[in-house]
Amino acid sequence: MPKPLLVILSGAGISAESGLKTFRDAGGLWEGQRVEDVATPEAWAKNPLLVLEFYNQRRKQLNEVEPNAAHAGLKALEEFFQVTIITQNVDDLHERAGSEHVVHLHGELKKVRSTKDENLIYNMDGWELKLGDVCVLGSQLRPHIVWFGEPVPLVEYATEIISKANFVAVIGSSMQVYPAAGLIYYAPSNAVKYYLDPKATQISGISNLYCIQEKASVGIEKLKQMLFNSKL
């Protein structure tokens, strides 16, 4: 008998518990930089050196942290469920915890790609990408990140996956960033859904939704118990 499909929608909250800074602080800044200055195509065209340094520092920080209990808990669920994680996060903490099926909607921090051919994608060995680092075509490499104002290539694939889910769990997401926040609306109406976040509240138009108002590393055990009870 096939395992039921559990789709996880993860956001910055799950990575924050490992020590990674969340997207923006209350002042609208991202590590002291305006989003418009480091995470848009216009920023790249205006000041590529600043953009490269910004993501270099993000990579450096990522190398200094480890997956937390929530990441490990999701890996453990693979014993009982077919788990696919659709994440807004660009870190590799899900993979480092052992999760086998991870879809990165907003790109991956440890990958870079050609500015001439977006299909030329490379894994990074270290944390530093410099001006003058080029692809096989001779064009500058850029972070493999979906910047503001750019299309989200994997959103249709993610929509297809969640449309087949038996269970959905939103973890560590404010449910404010689109198109990722809209994915839950594509889950089947009879799928059982969970929202795990300290500020989790009911989502308009979503049926069979249970809120767990805990941080991810604490609430993961409650989520696991609720999943098992629903599965029986």
Active site residues: 106
The Cα–Cα gap between 222 and 94 comes to: 19
Q: Are strands 192-196 and 5-10 parallel, antiparallel or unpaired?
A: unpaired
How many residues would you count in the chain? 232
Residue 133 burial (C-beta neighbours within 10 Å; 0-12, 13-18, 19+): middle
115: helix, strand or coil: coil
Asked if 83 and 165 count as a contact pair (C-beta separation under 8 A), the reply is no
28 HSE (CA, 13 A, CB side): 3
Tell me the sheet residues that pair with 103.
Answer: 86
